[in-house]
Structure 1
């Protein structure tokens, strides 16, 4: 891993490390020997996809996490504890993730887990984290059940969930009441159905109804039969992800579908996806994202500049930024606990308010869901890269005001 000493955004951790070094070098009471284990390493298992359907996203996650870990180690670790990283390939499957994580727990004695992309993979590890005695922090998976019906004591989600993203889109719709004639096309699983249901509820409150409501199976490569049914109107909602989203949007451009609507909105529009499309005709598409390098935040801008300089990349992928945010969450928990024991860090994270690239964030105690904004805006070229330019922010109190009643974590 490449080491660098750019400006760090882990201010608390670096201050603690500096104080630790100062006390070791000064006289009097401050020069007393450190408590046993004070400089023990923090062992982190980075389990993500090196192969399989999520390999490209897995590479982004590894880049983001390793960048954050390198930055911390170059500046003294967390509270004086160096970070040791042990990697495993989840193969893009739940079974692969469990095998890789269990190996890291048993052989490398990791105390913390990060890295998986897809909701089913994350769920498989979240359900075992307590038995393994590790703390697991999610950075990417958005499936609502992870912090609802399937919530578990040792899993925390540092990123937004599907409901928060859907509610951001519907909040934007409420501010655009003139858009009444809508069509929708979505993935034929929970992401598509839940998002389109929210659209129907929003426009239905004003006495309007959805026109075309189309669903394409996962893995669809030819969307022609669906696109031919979309003949234009005020708005079009597109809900898909990954390669399916790339194919759907690219073919929409070729069919001229997007030109037939006053507004086209999608819940998935990150720099990686837009780069894969690589067509300037996508500009003007309104996209939502939990984080983008274009958000108006000084820390986010500083991170983006340092990351691009260190890695030589053309843009910061969402999974790279969200990995950094997840690491900031872990650092905040360790600092608050003043411990690297995963159970003590878990207790400290519950209800904790801390700072990330997105500003002030609170980790809700009831379901371990981060309360953090979602950004929405048109796609444009920024510094030569296609990205969303946020013009609307879904704030936590508006997009996720209450924890899910389906999550029943033990009281402590």
Structure 2
């Protein structure tokens, strides 16, 4: 049996912030949450089946997603490995009876990250070196991903399936052969957005504001490469630290609205609403024709700030926008509701809600995809993980048939994905909703040759703003009333 004590839930400050303050966790991170007689103190890559550790984030800017990510992994095992959740109202209680090809999957611990590299290294070491994990799913955030990839590189018998960490470096630069990412990075998620704004909205000059850490850099890099690639100009790049509470000095560094055609935002976590409110105070009202953002620029946030933001365009994420409802997506969401009675996920303010509410968003889905990858990898080796390198080779060759589209891996074991672009709109009930506008198919981490292991990592000054040929320019697949026009 796999059972973990549930952290105390966090009450979120507002639905608009999306990923908000810290959820309670196992205190100082030094306890596995397992009963003492079930704890393991030695690492074993063979003979004991899969001993799984999940790296969540129960503190820091994205602490509100702790329940979501553990639930994502659990749903994959419930659907494809016979697992049963130990609680009908919380995924953090763990699961039982997961097995693939005769090989059991035992949950040995859940790591409590806080968005810092030091903390996530403490947690992965505890799970691997004290609890005996031979497979890790996670982590959640950008700097954490780089740290865990570097750690994995020194533990070749360990296999890591990244959760939803969006920094580019963890696969393109670190290149650990035992580290796998079955989703896109932050740059990929903005593929096609700059092209759309340039061609369809007439934007020519843009200012960028993004969190000053690896994911913010990567997300901004994708937009900059895309917008400049078709001929646009980025006039300013402003990078407030993640977790900033007073954004006024950073907003002051942005040009006034009469100096640019628009602004691109990649400020996330607890900062999204605060940054936008600071903009309103300093620069005037938000209007959709002048603003675009990455996935944190969402309907809940817009609803809190007013309907004038309708028309703003949004980059993609691990899932396609919610108005795209294929039979596979509907089946996936229904499976979540069949697995638990309720889940206190981030999008419901960490209050009980239908599990499909959390399953529809990318944090849950990234960890779900990792769980499916583990199951399919085990099937590919008939459950035999006694040779970790053979298991890892099988995982590297997988193409996953997932609800939001197939995902295969590039040579650096990072996902090649379809990106769904959307915009905010006002529906008949005067509510701000997200509607799909286009799908950019098959984007890989090199971003049409923009990035490579030899280029600098995305940062405050890289990539340069220069015209370049990108494979998807002018070729995005339109979406009409939630139906891709393939």
- Please, which of 408, 415, 438 is the counterpart of residue 392 of structure 1? 438
Q: Does 1:78 find its partner at 2:100?
A: yes
2:195–2:227 CA contact under 8 A, matched in 1: no
Greater mean deviation of Cα atoms: 38-47 or 64-73: 38-47
- Please, which of 403, 407, 420 is the counterpart of residue 375 of structure 1? 420
Q: Quote the offset at 1:143 in angstroms.
A: 0.8
- Please, which of 190, 198, 219 is the counterpart of residue 166 of structure 1? 190
Q: Residue 326 of structure 2 corresponds to which residue in structure 1?
A: 297
SS at match of 2:200: coil
2:423–2:436 CA contact under 8 A, matched in 1: yes
SS at match of 1:162: coil
Q: Residue 409 of structure 2 corresponds to which residue in structure 1?
A: 363
Q: Quote the offset at 1:276 in angstroms.
A: 9.7
CA RMSD of superposed structures (Å):
3.6
Q: Residue 324 of structure 1 corresponds to which residue in structure 2?
A: 368
- Please, which of 336, 340, 354 is the counterpart of residue 380 of structure 2? 336
Q: Does 1:288 find its partner at 2:296?
A: no
CA 1:382–1:261 in structure 2 vs 1: closer, same or farther (change >3 Å)? closer
Q: Give ranges in structure 2 of 5+ residues lacking alignment.
A: 4-45, 85-97, 343-352, 456-486
Q: Residue 296 of structure 2 corresponds to which residue in structure 1?
A: 269
Query: For 2:111 and 2:214, how far apart are their aligned partners in 1?
Result: 26
Q: Residue 143 of structure 2 corresponds to which residue in structure 1?
A: 120
CA 1:181–1:335 in structure 2 vs 1: closer, same or farther (change >3 Å)? same
Q: Quote the offset at 1:212 in angstroms.
A: 4.9
Q: Quote the offset at 1:367 in angstroms.
A: 0.4
Where relative contact order (Cα < 8 A, 6+ residues apart) is larger, the structure is 2
Query: For 1:300 and 1:250, how far apart are their aligned partners in 2?
Result: 34
1:125-157 superposed Cα distances (whole Å, 9 cap, x missing partner): 222225442100002111111111212111011
1:293-316 superposed Cα distances (whole Å, 9 cap, x missing partner): 614433222212332453532522
Q: Quote the offset at 1:382 in angstroms.
A: 8.9
Q: Does 1:104 find its partner at 2:130?
A: no
Q: Does 1:43 find its partner at 2:51?
A: yes
Q: Quote the offset at 1:326 in angstroms.
A: 1.4
Query: For 1:197 and 1:185, how far apart are their aligned partners in 2?
Result: 11
CA 1:299–1:259 in structure 2 vs 1: closer, same or farther (change >3 Å)? same
1:237–1:265 CA contact under 8 A, matched in 2: yes
Q: Quote the offset at 1:47 in angstroms.
A: 2.3
1:325–1:357 CA contact under 8 A, matched in 2: no
Greater mean deviation of Cα atoms: 91-100 or 330-339: 91-100
Q: Residue 89 of structure 1 corresponds to which residue in structure 2?
A: 111
- Please, which of 29, 41, 63 is the counterpart of residue 55 of structure 1? 63
SS at match of 1:391: strand
Q: Give ranges in structure 1 of 5+ residues lacking alignment.
A: 3-37, 408-412
Q: Quote the offset at 1:339 in angstroms.
A: 3.0
- Please, which of 236, 240, 260 is the counterpart of residue 267 of structure 2? 240
1:90–1:100 CA contact under 8 A, matched in 2: yes
Write out aligned runs for 1:144-293 (5 A): 144-173=168-197, 175-176=199-200, 178-189=202-213, 191-192=215-216, 209-227=233-251, 229-232=255-258, 234-252=261-279, 257=284, 259-260=286-287, 262-269=289-296, 274=300, 278-281=304-307, 282-290=309-317, 291-292=319-320
Larger helix percent? 1
CA 1:169–1:105 in structure 2 vs 1: closer, same or farther (change >3 Å)? same
1:312-364 superposed Cα distances (whole Å, 9 cap, x missing partner): 32522321121111111222222223234143221012232221122211122
Q: Residue 307 of structure 1 corresponds to which residue in structure 2?
A: 336
2:52–2:137 CA contact under 8 A, matched in 1: yes
How many residues end up aligned between the 2 structures? Answer: 370
Query: For 1:396 and 1:263, how far apart are their aligned partners in 2?
Result: 28
Query: For 2:423 and 2:415, how far apart are their aligned partners in 1?
Result: 25
Greater mean deviation of Cα atoms: 350-359 or 86-95: 86-95
TM-score by length of 1: 0.76
CA 1:335–1:270 in structure 2 vs 1: closer, same or farther (change >3 Å)? farther
1:270–1:289 CA contact under 8 A, matched in 2: no
Q: Residue 8 of structure 1 corresponds to which residue in structure 2?
A: none
TM-score by length of 2: 0.65
